[in-house]
Chain A
Amino acid sequence: MSEHPDQTRAYLDEPLAAFTDLLLSKPAASGSAAIPAEDEDLRRLQHTVERLQTAFGSNQPDPAMSGRILRNLHAAWQESQPAARQLSLLERLRGFFVPERKGWRSSQHSQRTQVFRYALAAVAVVVLLLLVVPGTGIGTALTGTAMGEGEWLPFAFLGILFVAVGIWIWRNRSK
């Protein structure tokens, strides 16, 4: 029974590996010139290894390409970590009343929601002014009642807090 052709060439494993090591360690030198193979099969395999090495050469990427990729990766990094970005007070206030749209919504729905939010904010501001500014009749109206002057302030803050919580609930419900 004859041996499988692949088995009969097992003797080529070691010299081919040695040739490849030599070629890749000294890519400028010709491997064939360094180790002239008398065996025809080995010579052909060495030729294939040489062609492969010659065709692709060095694996060092072009520095310009490397820099371009790194810049794009940094941009992707920034996008992937929005929480790390510090928002200014103005942006946070804007975000409270005009939250970022997530997903598609009809423009009519957005307009109605916006109008409602601004109305709530306006009511909160008016209530605050009426409570705080003297002579408007609300703060002073409490004087002479069971509460003394200034004792209404906690209730005023509670009222403002109530309005703010209402806006917050509405804002989250509508997302």
Chain B
Amino acid sequence: MAASSSPSDEELILLIQQGKVEAFNVLYERHLPAVYGRVRYTVPEADIEDVTQEVFIAVMRSLKNFRGESRFSTWLRTLTNRQIADYYRRRKPDESPLDPGESGLIGSSNPGANHPTAASGATLEEILMLRQALRQLPENHREVILLRFAEGLQFNEIAAVQGQSLEAVKSSFRRAIMGLQKQMGYENE
């Protein structure tokens, strides 16, 4: 959360609309983790940087017309989801549903695919499968997982964002995790 002394998103946007690039830097640093998190949960590793950059380029171009009718973070979330959807639309139909750069690694021929990655301890194949499973969840279920894990919002904050009760959000979260569990085959473990 931003400190009370730092300018609000809306104040920064006014400065950006006046051509102050420094204000854009602050806005970028503030919202990069949320955008990056959302992108990395849904986009193949090789394209995370490009898609994240495309989101902020779209922000730069669209901010001139931002009227503050919704909160900036809500607007940014919608824009990020649109860029991710565009990314998948642009991909060739015959491309692997998994990671174009990494799907070839999966399989018995590649010894690294089933080994834990240095960063997370999960196997490469598991990460790819999780991304795929997340994309196949119903949108409201995927959204609650992304808000909690990728953006780090608390359940009460998610409830405020989605205009739902805390109980409804927790229930939605449990159903989303059940869906993921089923797709990943964890229910048999």
Residues in A lying within 8 Å of B, measured CB to CB: 6, 9-10, 12-14, 16-17, 20-21, 24, 44-45, 47-49, 51-57, 59-61, 65-66, 68-70, 72-74, 76-77, 80-81, 84
Q: Known contacts A44-B186, A70-B28, A73-B56; decide if A55 and B174 are in contact (CB<8 Å).
A: no
Interface residue? B25 (CB, 8 A): yes
Verify A72–B53 contact, CB threshold 8 A: yes
- Which residues of chain A are near B40, meaning CB under 8 Å? 56, 59
- With A and B bound together, what is the CA distance between A51 and B12 in angstroms? 38
Verify B170–A13 contact, CB threshold 8 A: yes
Least Cβ–Cβ distance between B27 and chain A, in angstroms: 11
Please indicate which of the listed interface residues A47, A52, A66 has the most CB atoms of chain B within 10 Å of its own CB.
A52
Interface residue? B47 (CB, 8 A): no
Verify B173–A51 contact, CB threshold 8 A: no
- With A and B bound together, what is the CA distance between A99 and B129 in angstroms? 55
Q: Please tell me which one of the listed residues A12, A59, A81 contacts residue B150 in the complex, with CB atoms under 8 A apart.
A: A59
- Residue ID in chain B nearest A5 by CB atoms: B178
- With A and B bound together, what is the CA distance between A55 and B122 in angstroms? 5
Q: Known contacts A54-B121, A55-B130; decide if A81 and B173 are in contact (CB<8 Å).
A: no
- Residue ID in chain A nearest B56 by CB atoms: A73
Least Cβ–Cβ distance between B126 and chain A, in angstroms: 6
Verify A61–B173 contact, CB threshold 8 A: no
- Residue ID in chain B nearest A23 by CB atoms: B149
- Which residues of chain B are near A54, meaning CB under 8 Å? 120-122
- Residue ID in chain B nearest A13 by CB atoms: B170
Verify A21–B155 contact, CB threshold 8 A: yes
- Which residues of chain B are near A10, meaning CB under 8 Å? 171, 174
27 A-B pairs within 8 Å (CB atoms) are namely A6-B178, A9-B174, A9-B178, A13-B167, A13-B170, A13-B171, A13-B173, A16-B174, A20-B148, A20-B173, A24-B149, A44-B181, A51-B122, A51-B126, A51-B186, A54-B121, A54-B122, A59-B33, A59-B34, A59-B36, A59-B37, A65-B49, A69-B28, A69-B52, A70-B25, A74-B21, A77-B60
Q: Give the interface SS of chain B, mostly helix, strand, loop or mixed.
A: helix
Least Cβ–Cβ distance between A5 and chain B, in angstroms: 10
- Residue ID in chain A nearest B25 by CB atoms: A70
- Which residues of chain B are near A12, meaning CB under 8 Å? 174
Flag B122-137 by CB within 8 Å of A: 1 or 0 each: 1000110010000000
- Which residues of chain A are near B187, meaning CB under 8 Å? 44
Verify B149–A61 contact, CB threshold 8 A: no
Give the 4 A-B residue pairs with the shortest CB-CB distance, closest first: A59-B37, A55-B122, A48-B181, A13-B170
- Residue ID in chain A nearest B189 by CB atoms: A47
